[in-house]
Amino acid sequence: MESLRIGMFSWESLHAIRVGGVAPHVSELSESLAEAGHEVHVFTRMGEHSSYDEINGVHYQRVSHDQWGRITDQMEHMCNAMYDRFFAVEALFGRFDVLHGHDWHPVRALNRLKIYNDREYVLTYHSTEWGRNGNKHAEWPEAREIEHWEWSGGYESRKVIVTSQHLKDEVQSIYHVPESKITIIPNGIFPDKVKKDVDPVAVKGTLGIPATSPVALFIGRMSYQKGVDLLVEAVPAVLAQHPETHFIFIGEGEMRAHCQWLAEKNGVTHACHFLGYAPDDLFCTWLNASDLVVVPSRNEPFGIVVLEAWDAEKPVIGTDAVQLIENFKDGILAYKRPESIAWCINYALGDLAKTSLLGITGKERIKHTYNWKQVAKDMCNAYKSVI
């Protein structure tokens, strides 16, 4: 395919304001597209950065905007700033061939570009408000507004991208997006992005964990959607069979205090270590030092943490919401109940040498399917269908 000029629209990226899993998706996809010969501009928030940078071949067009009001008010201001910046960038670089938005946040800017300037766009759903609220519609006004923005993006966009069959079903059920409009393109990871050599004994020692104790790791938002409370509730049943096990929790969120209370209530605080937010280096260190990774989500649109675990060749215990896992081939699936999660962890700990082979199988899936080079190729094919 000939070189394209691509405009990415996202409220977060790795090289501006980073919030969650959309940031690495946007930046790493953009880098892979640039490496393939395309010109990529990421329209995103400025934060403490400059208004423009070129990083790893990608042009970052950062906008400042008013911060007052609710989240939907703030995103309205961001969209206005993106809309204005778009034409300034086109005046310098030339007309864009493809516009690609990520989640609901930039939808108003893209809709204005379509309605007033006759520009079609592609929209990726990384999740839905329904899913983020634990598979239910929230009652507060902002959630209703966000759902309207999500519906509007699905309706106005020329092409919808989702990262999994699970998310495709969710988007079609909630927003009635036509089958013909949706394409599934998964997340990716750069092979060996998180894999590194560490001394597990030394890493465990930083928290006073004995050298021979197995470590189960949770990484993610401490929220109802991510099911972290289900994992904490599973800890007593794991310790009953494997009393030497320790659990590391990396991440912040509204359920952290509740989970710490659960650990205290169940008498397992000695085995639960809540580290809060961790910078990338510490996150990678614990990922490589752990024996297994647990993804106890109630709703999981894709599960980038699964790819990160596989990249480090770690076995993954996930709930049946994590459809990326093939049960007993590259991970183990539990029901969304503490007793089921505990059973799976105990099964894995019963023969860690055998269980570790699941992570190695997952690494092979990254090499062949879930790498950014392949994802960028698939994305270009999707772009071609709307040009």
User: Smallest Cα–Cα separation from 162: which of 103, 99, 225, 97?
Assistant: 103
* pLDDT above 70 (res 1): no
Burial 158-184, CB ≥16 within 10 A → b, else e: bbbbbbbebbbebbbebbebeeeebbe
pLDDT in tens, 94-141: 999 999 999 999 999 999 999 999 999 999 999 999 988 877 888 878
Task: Kindly list the structural domains of the chain, giving each domain's residue range(s) and its CATH number in brackets, ordered by start.
Answer: 5-188+371-384 (3.40.50.2000), 200-368 (3.40.50.2000)
pLDDT in tens, 302-347: 888 999 999 999 999 999 999 899 999 999 999 999 999 999 999 9
- Tell me the average pLDDT across 256-268: 98
The structure's pTM equals 0.89
Contact 48, 42 (CB under 8 A): no
- Tell me the average pLDDT across 183-212: 96
The CA–CA distances, whole Å, from 225 to 35, 50, 132, 134, 344 equal 35, 34, 6, 5, 20
